[in-house]
Amino acid sequence: MSRLIVGLVFAACGVTQLGAQEAAKVPMTPAELLARNLGPRDHINDPFPPYKIIGNLYFVGPQALGSFLVSTPAGLILINSDFERTVPVIRASVEKLGFKFTDIKILLGSHAHGDHMEGDAMVKELTGAQVMAMAEDVPALEAMKPGGKPHPIDKVLHDGDQVSLGGSTLVAHLTAGHTKGCTTWTMKVQDGGKSYDVVIVGSVGVNPGVKLVNNPDYPQIAEDYARSYKTLRSLHCDIPLGSHPGMYRMEEKYAKLGKGPNPFIDPQGYLSEIQINENVFRAELERQKKAAQ
């Protein structure tokens, strides 16, 4: 059985249902990791019930794409517009939660791939939201023109910049490698009289076919990945989230929501997910170095 098929079997049979510590030990190739994150390709955009994660933070994405809503007295912040065809799914989820889609004031993104930021232009047209993006991802975003529409970028961000609205503040952390401007967002949420640290990981996975050695378009890609794992480990995290729900075992946790302690509070799961991705990176880097010799 090929490693890719094994990866698909893992995804279908619930490798994400393993405990966080056990999951970190499961050997994966880039193809297996991608299969775990995306699930069946024809279900990526399937609607998923929107829900409150904690405090003023909500999930509004489809089954395999992480889109998040932050509600504030001054309006809404949306993180990840996903594919352009996903925007109606997100809009329906926002409205099902009782919010107005047109109240979105700020649109942020995880990284310059179509499944996370292709819908920016459509969200901008529908809401007038300010679109913000990390500087290193701007060239890739400017080349992203669904239907020929130019990609809107109202504000260019840099590592450590803060985005605030209505008393809520998100901090942009450059976690490059997956893309040159891949962005991890952190914020504090209040719930039940307690404060929690949320980390929305942009992505630190190595996709199949990505050149980690002798990459003429991105010479420092391996160094950036290594730096990003270090950055993520430096962040305190109570609630790990990510650009794909498979990155934080969403469906498993959603099934437990309201049946006990909030299952999204999972600091150990955060550290284990970083290790899973770094293991894939280190193994693939070594494989490519040997091949290059």
3-state per-residue secondary structure call for 21-90: HHHCCCCCCHHHHHHHHHCCHHHCCCECCCEEEECCEEECCECCCCCEEEEECCEEEEECCCCHHHHHHH
Strand segments, DSSP code E, in 192-251 are 194-201, 239-242
In this structure, whether the domain defined by 3-292 belongs to CATH 3.60.15.10 is answered with: yes
CA 67 and chain centroid, separation: 8
Note down pLDDT in tens along the chain; length 293 residues: 333 333 333 333 334 444 444 444 656 999 999 999 988 888 899 999 999 999 999 999 999 999 999 999 999 999 999 999 999 999 999 999 999 999 999 999 999 999 999 999 999 999 999 999 999 999 999 999 999 999 999 999 999 999 999 999 999 999 999 999 999 999 999 999 999 999 999 999 999 999 999 999 999 999 999 999 999 999 999 999 999 999 999 999 999 999 999 999 999 999 999 999 999 999 999 999 999 98
The answer to whether residues 237 and 267 touch, using CB atoms and an 8 Å cutoff, is yes
The residue extents of the domains of the chain are 3-292
Position 26 scores a pLDDT of 54
Separation CA 21–CA 36 (nearest Å): 16
Position 41 scores a pLDDT of 81
pTM for this entry: 0.91
Position 25 scores a pLDDT of 60
Position 10 scores a pLDDT of 36
Position 2 scores a pLDDT of 36
Separation CA 201–CA 68 (nearest Å): 12
Position 75 scores a pLDDT of 98
**258 C-beta neighbours (distance < 10 Å), count:** 10
Q: List, in sequence order, every residue forming a beta bridge with 241; answer none if it has no partner.
A: 200
Position 43 scores a pLDDT of 86
Position 42 scores a pLDDT of 83
